[in-house]
Structure 1
Amino acid sequence: MMITLTTPAILFPAISLLLLAYTNRFVTLASIIRTFDSTEISESAQKQIANLRKRIQLIKRMQEAGAASFFLCVLAMLAIYSEYQQLGSWIFGGSLVLLLYSLWMSVWEIRISVEALDVHLQEYNLSYKKRK
């Protein structure tokens, strides 16, 4: 399959915005981790810490896969520009696979984030029941 130089170029803004979103997620988590009260060692706090660890690792993988996808996208453009059409197509395919992996990690991280909110809400629910 022949692709033109503009085909991989279409992904540039998408990958850039995705990496920006991942960075924002990382910064938010880093802020939460830095302000986490280490004196509180309840079961809920332990679950939250485990959850934060998982999420940070996933975001790291998301960023790595996104950056690698961006790198391969540029490499594909370079190959196409140098008139290595077939090689450029294969490299671009690799870029798409890495982008897909990055998006899957993002969905996984969102699911874990929702679990963290559930743990937090359960904690509020228990304290509310105790007050009654």
Structure 2
Amino acid sequence: MTLTLETPALLFSATSLILLAYTNRFLTIAQIIRNLKKNYDDNHNKSILLEIKNLNLRLTLIRYMQLFGVMCLFLSVFAMLLLYVNYSEFGIYLFGTSLFCLLISLGISFWEISISVNALRVHLKDLSDDVE
């Protein structure tokens, strides 16, 4: 099996865009937590604490998503270096490892999105109960 320098390079743009999306998620959730914290300081509503706990879990997941995304990029670059210096067998394994890191990152992303959707459904259920 052969692997050229171009194959690991294909992950650069995709991984960069994924990391940008993860960072945007992080920043959005951080802002929501700041607003909820201020709201809790004013009202001491227990439901706000539950929301903050949920968002804290999501922040942790995003941190791991970013970690594995960065590892994917790092290992991909390292694989390119090994391919460049003609250590193609090690480069192939390292590239495979980088793909595995990308899969882990995407799996965690799916988990985080599921948590987000469930939290939104709770809010929508509250609204639908008020309408009825």
User: Same-fold call, TM > 0.5?
Assistant: yes
Percent identity among equivalent residues?
49
Give the structure 2 partner of residue 94 of structure 1: 97
3-state DSSP of counterpart to 2:2: coil
Question: What is the distance in 1 between the residues matched to 2:115 and 2:19?
Answer: 19
| Contact 1:15–1:66 (8 Å) recurs in 2 | yes
Relative to its length, the structure with more helix (as a share) is 2
Secondary structure of the residue that 1:10 maps to in structure 2? helix
Count of residue pairs the alignment pairs up: 129
Matching of residues 3-82 of structure 1 within 5 Å: 3-36=3-36, 37-39=39-41, 40-82=43-85
Cα contact 1:44–1:120 (8 A) shared by 2: no
- For residues 40-98 of structure 1, the C-alpha deviation after alignment (integer angstroms, 9 at most, x for no partner) is 44453233122101100000000000001100000000000000000000000000000
Residue identity matched to 2:11: L
TM-score by length of 1: 0.91
Match of 2:108 in 1: 105
Q: How far apart, in 2, do the equivalents of 1:20 and 1:90 lie?
A: 26
1:44/1:124 Cα in 2 relative to 1: closer, same or farther (>3 Å)? farther
Q: For CA contacts below 8 A with separation 6 or more, give which structure has more relative contact order.
A: 1
Q: Distance in 2 between matches of 1:60 and 1:116?
A: 19
Structure 1 residues 117-126 or 104-113, which shifts more?
117-126
TM-score by length of structure 2 reads 0.91
SS of residue in 1 equivalent to 2:90 = helix
Structure-1 separation of matches of 2:56 and 2:121: 17
- Name structure 1 gaps, 5 residues minimum: none
Matched residue SS, 1:4: coil
Structure 2 runs not aligned, ≥5 long: none
- Contact residue 40 and residue 49 of structure 2 kept, 8 A: no
